[in-house]
Amino acid sequence: MDEQKNRTIGQPVCPVVRANLSAAGSTVLVTGATGLLGSHLAEEWVKAGARVRAILRRHDATPFLDALGVEKVHGNLRDPIACRFACEGVDIVCHAAAKVGDWGSWHEFQEDTVEATRQIADAARHAGVGRFVHVSSTSAYGHPLDSEAPIREDYPLGTNIWRQDPYTLAKVECERLLWHMSKAGFPLTIIRPSWLYGLRDRITLNRVVGRMRAGKFRLIGPGDNRLQAIDAAEVARAAVHAALAPQAVGRAYNVTDLGPVTQKEFFDHMAAAFGLPPITKRTHYPTVFFGAGLLERWGRLVHPARPPLITRYAAWLMGRRLWYDNTRIREEIGWSPAIDYATSLKRTAEWFRDSKGI
């Protein structure tokens, strides 16, 4: 008798981990599939020949996923029963869902990022999935001091975390609970992307391009620091590579850039893609960072639900002088970016215009 067809939700099973995974014929569950990275994960898995399932809230807009033919399961990631149902018969889980942004209360991040991760990982373990790919972030390293030395995957998590940075705290907590599960045989792979942008990105593009058009955008510092931003489509490719690589079990991978680029070069590429002049205005980094801290304090007192103009995290993201090395994923799995920044940003700008973003 077919165990899968006759098992009821919540019934204990002895998990049998699936091995020898391949894209063709596999069933892949993507969480966060309506988001920037999650939509690219769904698209990449469909292109690879997998059957893709997404766990979604009932009010989520899904025209893109519908066009891909993605199977939809409605439920909340904090609900263990919904997570068990979504994981039934799944070979691979790609977990990209999390609270987006660097503003909010710890309770929000704890519920929507940490608890959601705990529940979907437990459901995946219960179902005996062959691989659980968790999308973390380079933020899981914390806030290392500026250094010319590269930060590799063995760098300690949660270094020098600031108070009132729930995004970073949540990323660290998620990794810690997953690595604990990994010690008991959970088939875990973690990818740590840097700042994401690309097709279907409205948050960053609306904010940055809007300020560029108004002549208000400024570089933070001289602009010669290495900026690590990456197209979400390239992160999705990396996640698929990692999910299918046997040697990636128990490993973490930085997925951080399309090649070396400075802060000024990146934003000049972006300006050119949108038909705007190069960025020439600059603001002193310590001034922006200190000012962002004041804005955060004022915002928490007056408008706690509304993010300030800039946060310390955003200032640090642009002005920091450190870099994350992605040699490991290149050498162990064979991933490398298929496009450069000029091409990526041009493609992103074309999508933004076509979607009536400008």
Say which range, 11-20, 109-118, 243-252, has the weakest mean pLDDT.
11-20
Mean of the per-residue pLDDT values for the chain?
A: 89
Which residue blocks in the chain are alpha helix, DSSP H? 3-6, 36-47, 63-68, 80-87, 106-109, 116-127, 166-182, 203-213, 232-244, 263-273, 285-302, 312-319, 327-332, 341-354
CA separation for the pair 178, 182 (Å, rounded): 6
Residue range 301-312, pLDDT digits in tens: 877 777 778 888
If you write DSSP's letter for every residue of 201-264 in order, what string do you get? --HHHHHHHHHHHTT---EESSS-SBP-EEEHHHHHHHHHHHHH-GGGTTEEEEE--SS--BHH
Does pTM surpass 0.95?
A: no
Which homologous superfamily is 17-280+294-354 in? NAD(P)-binding Rossmann-like Domain (3.40.50.720)
Using an 8 Å Cβ cutoff, are 94 and 133 in contact? yes
Using an 8 Å Cβ cutoff, are 132 and 86 in contact? no
Q: What is the mean pLDDT of residues 68-73?
A: 96
Residue range 149-203, pLDDT digits in tens: 899 999 999 998 887 888 999 999 999 999 999 999 999 999 999 999 999 998 8
Question: Does 15 have pLDDT greater than 80?
Answer: no
Residue 245: closest CA among 119, 335, 161: 335
User: What per-residue confidence (pLDDT) applies to 16?
Assistant: 45
> How does residue 358 score in pLDDT terms, banded at 50, 70 and 90?
low
Residue range 227-248, pLDDT digits in tens: 999 999 999 999 999 999 999 9
Bridge-based pairing of strands 195-197 and 229-231 is parallel
The amino acid present at 79, given as its one-letter code, is D
